[in-house]
């Protein structure tokens, strides 16, 4: 089951008054083109829409069940003016509650929301440009932000901002789905921080290993040429510790020294050893491999 279906099932799970159901149904029908039928992959959504379409003269006159494959809804379009592009001020009168219900119906009709574990994306695909512009204005006037686009003749309202998606889902009543967006963002943030820390640690390890190898090469070259006897006592001690412990950091080498010395002290002594090795190479006319 898709995340979009999860959102729509959630929107259909809350009990509403008759007036509230009327606003949801109005938002649903408003967002569609003039059409004879509508398919939803969720049978629960189909049953909900049939239920709120009215009892005496239902706007949805027939529901063909397709088992787990969803439901095909057929409309009695004589009961709704698909050609009226103005949003009814009697039903959507500037109150956030009514606007949220209207947009809930719009999302049931033409909304999709991507799985937040994979990407952040929410959109309304509205069949008529004027209606898309009206819905866009309604969303923006409610303090949220959404962008407009046109794709293959279809008018798209969309956002790829996680907070923007969460705000819209909360506004239309999908609080649980909104929490999933926020949880996914938190999880991704933690995972990215861990990955950065691991990558940083790996890079530091690689640098440490590369430096250790260079230091060991210099020490071994001195041993080959003249032996460690040409080094002072403090340099010879550091050279011997490095030869026996190539994996150790400078701080760890310092702790093994007698007496114990700082990281910067170890660095300076290893640098001095490197300079001695380079001097020997120049005297012998040799280059580092």
Residue 71 lies in a domain: yes
Residue 172: pLDDT over 90: yes
Of the candidates 168, 135, 138, 126, the one whose C-alpha atom is nearest the C-alpha of residue 33 is: 126
Q: pLDDT category, 45, cuts 50, 70, 90? A: confident
Average pLDDT over residues 241-252: 86
B/e letters for 34-73, b = 16+ CB within 10 Å, e = fewer, are eeeebebbbbebbbbbbebbbeeebbbbebeeeeeebbeb
Range of the domain at 272: 203-282
| 156/132 Cα distance (integer angstroms) | 7
> Which of 70-84, 121-135, 184-198, 243-257 shows the highest mean pLDDT?
121-135
Question: For 256, phi and psi rounded to 5 degrees?
Answer: -85, -15
Domain count of the fold of the chain: 2
pLDDT number for residue 58: 66
Q: pLDDT category, 80, cuts 50, 70, 90? A: low
Residue 105: pLDDT over 90: yes
Q: State the average pLDDT for the chain.
A: 85
Residue 196 lies in a domain: no
Q: pLDDT category, 157, cuts 50, 70, 90? A: very high
20 and 112 in one domain?
yes
Domain end (from 118, 151, 185): 185
Residue 195 lies in a domain: no
60 close to 49: Cβ distance less than 8 angstroms: yes
Q: pLDDT category, 92, cuts 50, 70, 90? A: confident
């Amino acid at each position: 089951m898709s995340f979009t279906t999860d959102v729509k099932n959630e929107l259909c799970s809350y009990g509403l008054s008759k007036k509230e159901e009327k606003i949801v149904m109005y938002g649903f029908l408003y967002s569609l083109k003039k059409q004879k039928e509508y398919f939803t992959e969720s049978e629960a959504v189909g049953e909900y829409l049939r239920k709120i379409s009215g009892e005496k003269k239902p706007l949805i006159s027939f529901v063909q069940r397709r088992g787990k494959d969803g439901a095909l809804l057929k409309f009695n379009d004589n009961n709704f003016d698909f050609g009226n592009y103005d949003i009814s001020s009697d039903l959507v009168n500037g109150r956030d509650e009514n606007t949220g219900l209207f947009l809930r119906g719009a999302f049931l009709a033409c909304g999709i929301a991507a799985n937040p574990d994979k990407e952040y994306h929410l959109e309304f695909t509205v069949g008529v440009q004027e209606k898309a512009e009206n819905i866009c204005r309604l969303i923006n006037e409610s303090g949220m932000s959404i962008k407009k686009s046109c794709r293959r003749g279809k008018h798209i309202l969309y956002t790829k901002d996680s907070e923007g998606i969460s705000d819209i889902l909360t506004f239309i009543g999908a609080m649980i789905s909104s929490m999933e967006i926020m949880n996914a963002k938190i999880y991704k943030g933690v995972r990215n921080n861990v990955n950065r820390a691991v990558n940083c640690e790996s890079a530091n390890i690689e640098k440490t290993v590369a430096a250790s190898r260079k230091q060991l090469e210099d020490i071994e070259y001195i041993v080959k040429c003249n032996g460690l006897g040409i080094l002072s006592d403090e340099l010879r001690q550091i050279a011997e510790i490095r030869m026996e412990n190539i994996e150790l950091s400078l701080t760890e080498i310092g702790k093994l020294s007698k007496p114990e010395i700082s990281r910067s002290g170890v660095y300076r002594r290893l640098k001095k050893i490197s300079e001695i090795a380079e001097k020997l190479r120049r005297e012998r006319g040799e280059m580092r491999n």
